[in-house]
Structure 1
Amino acid sequence: MITLQERVHAAPKPDDWQLDKLHQVFRVRRGHKNAGMKDDNLLSLSYGRIIQKDIETADGLLPENFEGYQIVEPGNIVLRLTDLQNDKRSLRQGLVTQRGIITSAYDAVEVQRDNDPRFWFYALLALDLAKHYYSLGGGVRQSVKFADFPNDWVYRPDLATQRQIADFLDRETARIDLLIEKKQRLVALLEEKLQSKLETAVIAEESKKVPLRRALINLEQGWSPDCETRPKEQDEWGVLKVGCVNSWSFSSAEHKALPINLVPRPALEVREGDLLMSRANSPELVGSAAIVHNAATRLMLCDKLYRLKLDTKLLSPSFALLALRSKAARMHYSLRSNGASASMQNISQETVRSLPVPLPSLRKQAEVVAKIERQIRYVSETTCAVNASIDRLKEYRSALITAAVTGQIDVQSYAESGTPDRRLDAIQEEMGA
């Protein structure tokens, strides 16, 4: 007999842990509908945590009536085993810490007696981190239910050991999460400082602002053929996706392959040095822009992108990119964008043409660009190192959870040995962040 932990984690059963079927550990909660609105504490599963949500929000994704929601109690575990083929990044379970209501599209389970819900939350999280749920929804299946796999064998420690492991993981994951949060704040602070320097450099030229049409020769929009959704390196032609400009630097990987039966349009091929802007995007990204560098294949504009051809005797593409990135430009787009949904906004050609931009001398433009690009390189290099450190911390966190819930480490001796401190110190030193 092969247990679930052995199959997914290749982790053998510790000698003093016992065998059980999964349904002997968990029970799916049934008959706990919110009929008559017994409870209005709205809960939601977000990034592996159960959080409160405002039931009075105007969010259009919420129903008008919550009587069909299920009531959950502290210690329940909520699993979202839906949309398995399209969403392979979310964490799919959370531990309930307060009574409330949550959508009945999710499974809510409770542990049987002599089990600690925190331990089993971590055990299910280890399965999730190993991408086990996606194997259950293979083929055309987009979702499964917890009831689809209740007969799997699992091994488990006694209740005292479960609590010891849960206490250890609560403590150690909190330490790791705090480090990750600090590093994420550092990245955000670096971005804020960069934006502040950019604003200062652009605002210094406020008195020379003119509508962008003064320096525009042409404003061109791409097309939208019915392309496959994954890049194919062997294809000679591709069509850019709007995400190619989302980070204010060009990413040629953000493209779709051009099917053989569609004829390419060379006139829409992007060239080195082209300035591209997103025409249709999410509200926070609409109007984002980038200059084309190192395109790996022959790529055409899609209909969600504009190409701005500038009079380079008046305005350099590099300085124009800084102006497009300024807060004043973002406000200009925000006030004039429109869209069929809140998640997708559009900016018209006239909105782009009417955007006020500074127009100092080309010499002054070059000075500003050189100064800001030095800052951009520093922020980019530092952010890369910090993000690598964050990734290593996440890897260690996942490995620690898996090792603990499968009994591959004795958590008491592991903690007393000082190994967690040494591992965290080593990650810090290795990444220099």
Structure 2
Amino acid sequence: MMKQQTYSEYKESDVKWLGQVPVHWNAVSLKWISQRYSGGTPDKSNDAYWENGDIPWLNSGSVNDGYITEPSTYITREGFASSSAKWVPKNALVMALAGQGKTKGMVAQLGIRATCNQSMAAIIPKEKFTPRFLYWWLVSNYQNIRNMAGGEQRDGLNLDMLGSIPCPLLPRPEQTAIADFLDRETGRIDSLMAKKRQLIALLKEKRCALISHIVTRGLPEAAADEFGLKPHTRFKNSDIEWLGQVPEGWGVKKVWIERVSRNIELQDGNHGEQHPKAEDYVGEGIPFVMANHIDNGKIDFNKCNYIEKEQADSLRIGFSNEGDVLLTHKGTIGRVGIVQKSHFPYVMLTPQVTYYRCLREIQNRFLFWLMQSKFWQDQLKLLAGLGSTRAYIGLLDQKTLSFLIPSEKEQFAIATYLDRETSKLDRLVEKVDAVIARLQEYRTALITAAVTGKIDVREVEV
């Protein structure tokens, strides 16, 4: 990462967002250097305003792309005339005044002429300002802009707030040089981060393939020798279409054949009136585990809500103990974890999560890895697809799931081998993630330094 030149002389800008600036720069409010207006949305219940439309129309989610070349949808001329939608010229900027998650305060440049909804503001710079430099300035102040409307709260921005945004005022050729520099350098950084993300995707694919192969075909020869086992050379038909053959000697069973010969006990959390409510949550007590609290194979207790032990003790079902294998079956389907050792006497499950308690023949660590295999996850997808449009797999359907049973010695060997080999892959992913984080930090710092004049890029060679 190259060392950058600085300007020869600076002065105080008296603007917190800017700090010291080059001596020939000044500060000005956005309202003095731009035209700003919001759009509108035709009545969505009137098909005549939407069907076969030819006017490009944007919603606030469009800003996530940074540079917009395709509209969210099209509206008709009748729809345009009936609403407060307005045309926004090509190369102008649009900012989300409101929106889901991180959308509020995000900015994009238009690569097309389009209209937009009322949750977006068009920002059209006047002659002294280049749209691209203003884009980078607003990008660099994303969090400052969000903070004008309550930060992470639901409050929206408005046009007056946008007009009060302080901006650096500098010669237009210098704006162009800075914008060109940032387009070029961030493009290089983005390309490098994309390659790193591709590497992570490949490592995760390799992890999934490794798990799926080992839990359905057995250990490779060297690993089998390590654990005092012989590699499998004889296979049999599993009678499961998408699984094919499995090692001879392995059992293939349903989760729940009949109550007297069950291998696994399974149960989810309390439904209906018994389900704890938000007003029951307390600072300390028994963890109340939802689907999004299961991460990286275990419960993230920092994310959990808690309920009083007295209330938890009074509930009918959902008591999960150390060693239980957890499966999310509602909303987010297919996350797997094991209840780890903790100071809690038990954890309480919501109806989103089922515990699988291994009673005989199958070991919890082997089941943990089996549940992450393509074989098991494909079963879940099939069951979820057979139900309603809402992602849900009830206990009755879960009891039809098939699982494999190697010998106890081989289950232990497979689980131990996968613990070790997946840890190697996970550490590689963590290292690549750390590189991406450093690149993102550098990207953010570079943008801020350039648009505030902390570095001089006027003479930087392409």
TM-score band, normalised by shorter chain? 0.7 to 0.9
**Inter-CA distance 8–114: structure 2 relative to 1 (3 Å threshold):** closer
Taking the aligned partners of 2:397 and 2:342, their CA distance within structure 1 comes to 28
Aligned twin of 1:291: 338
Distance in 2 (alpha carbons) for counterparts of 1:5 and 1:178: 37
Which 5+ residue runs of structure 1 have no aligned equivalent?
Answer: 57-61, 419-433
**Residue in structure 2 matched with residue 119 of structure 1 by the alignment:** 133
Structure 1 residue 42, shift from structure 2 partner:
6.0
1:3 and 1:154 in contact (8 A); partners too: no
Q: CA deviation at 1:81?
A: 2.3
Give the alignment partner of residue 185 of structure 1, picking from 198, 218, 228.
198
Q: CA deviation at 1:94?
A: 1.3
Q: Does residue 390 in structure 1 map to residue 442 in structure 2?
A: no
Amino acid at match of 2:305: K
Pair 1:346–1:90, CA change in 2 (3 A): farther
1:6 equivalent in structure 2: 15
Q: Larger deviation: 217-226 or 331-340?
A: 331-340
| Aligned counterpart, 2:26 | 18
Change (3 A) 1:273 1:141: closer
| Cα shift at 1:307 | 0.9
CA distance in 1, matches of 2:152, 2:419: 47
1:209 matched to 2:256? The reply is no
- Distance in 2, Cα, partners of 1:176 & 1:310: 48
Deviations along 1:182-225, one digit per CA (max 9) or x if unpaired, are 11111110000111111211231653322122554421111342
Q: Which has the larger radius of gyration?
A: 2
- Give, in whole Å, the separation in 1 of the partners of 2:424 and 2:30: 51
Aligned to 1:281: 331
**Where do residues 97-246 of structure 1 align in structure 2 (5 Å cutoff)?**
97-128=111-142, 130-137=143-150, 142-204=155-217, 206=238, 207=246, 208-214=251-257, 216-223=263-270, 224-227=275-278, 232=283, 235-246=284-295
Q: CA deviation at 1:230?
A: 9.3
* Residue 264 of structure 1: how far off its partner (Å): 2.5
8 Å CA contact 1:249–1:290 kept in 2: the answer is yes
CA contact (8 A) 1:316 1:365 kept: yes
TM (normalized to structure 2)?
0.75
Residue 46 of structure 1 deviates from its aligned partner by 2.0
Specify whether residues 157 and 95 from structure 1 end up closer, same or farther in structure 2 by C-alpha distance, changes over 3 A only. same
Asked if residue 264 in structure 1 is aligned to residue 312 in structure 2, the reply is: yes
Q: 1:8 to 1:326 in 2, by over 3 A?
A: same
Per-residue CA distance 1:219-267 (angstroms, 9 max, x = gap): 11113422379994xx13331221122544432223113379x722387
Which string of whole-angstrom CA distances, capped at 9 and with x for unpartnered residues, describes residues 315-371 of structure 1?
A: 1111112221122322222222269986x5111112211111111111121222222
The residue number in structure 2 matching 1:302 is 350
- Please list the CA deviations of residues 30-66 of structure 1 after superposition, one character each: whole Å capped at 9, or x if unmatched: 679898944247672225453636749xxxxx99x97
2:229 corresponds in structure 1 to none
Contact 2:263–2:361 (Cα < 8 Å) also in 1: no
The answer for unaligned runs of 5 or more in structure 2 is 1-10, 43-48, 219-237, 239-245
Aligned residue in 2 for 1:75? 91
Decide whether the 8 Å contact of 1:241 with 1:254 is kept in 2. Answer: no
TM-score, reference length from structure 1: 0.80
Deviation of the 1:378 alpha carbon = 0.8
1:290-369 matches, within 5 Å, as 290-295=337-342, 299-311=347-359, 313-337=360-384, 345-369=391-415
Deviates more, 1:13-22 or 1:116-125: 13-22
Aligned residues: 397
Q: What corresponds to 1:425 in structure 2? A: none
Question: Which whole-Å CA distance do the structure 2 matches of 1:334 and 1:321 have between them?
Answer: 18
**Residue type of the alignment partner of 2:404:** P
Note closer, same or farther for the CA distance 1:294–1:407 as it changes in structure 2 (3 Å cut). farther
Over 3 Å counting, the alpha-carbon distance change for 1:376 and 1:230 in structure 2 is farther
Pick one of 46, 50, 67 that aligns with 2:68.
50
What is the rounded CA distance, in whole Å, between the counterparts of 1:248 and 1:394 in structure 2?
A: 27
Please, which moves more after superposition, 185-194 or 149-158?
Answer: 149-158
More displaced 10-residue stretch of structure 1: 176-185 or 249-258: 249-258
Given that residues 248 and 290 in structure 1 are in contact (C-alpha distance below 8 angstroms), is that contact kept between their aligned partners in structure 2? yes
Confirm or deny: 8 A CA contact 1:339 1:346 kept in the other structure. Answer: no
Instruction: Specify the SS of the correspondent of 1:104.
Output: coil
The answer to whether the 8 A contact 1:4-1:154 is kept is: no
Please list, as runs of the form range in 1=range in 2, the aligned pairs for 1:34-45 lying within 5 A after superposition.
37-40=53-56, 44-45=62-63
Shift in CA distance, 211/71, structure 1 to aligned 2, threshold 3 Å: farther
Partners in 1 of 2:17 and 2:277 — Cα distance?
A: 38
Distance 2:374 2:118 in 1: 42
Asked if the contact 1:41–1:55 (Cα under 8 Å) also holds between the matched residues in 2, the reply is yes
- Whichever residue aligns with residue 200 of structure 2, its letter is V
**Fraction of identical pairs, as percent:** 23
1:48, 1:91 within 8 Å by CA — same for their partners in 2? no
Aligned partner of residue 265 in structure 1, secondary structure: helix
* C-alpha RMSD of matched pairs (Å): 3.5
Contact 2:93–2:124, Cα closer than 8 Å, also in 1: yes
Partners of 2:14 and 2:306 in 1: how far apart? 40
Q: 1:148 to 1:332 in 2, by over 3 A?
A: same
Where 1:279 maps in the other structure, the secondary structure is strand
For each residue in 1:43-98, what CA deviation from the matched residue of structure 2 results, as whole angstroms up to 9, or x when unmatched? 72225453636749xxxxx99x9745554332121111215xx7347771111122
The DSSP-based 3-state class of the residue aligned with 1:290 is: strand
Structure 2 match to 1:253: 302
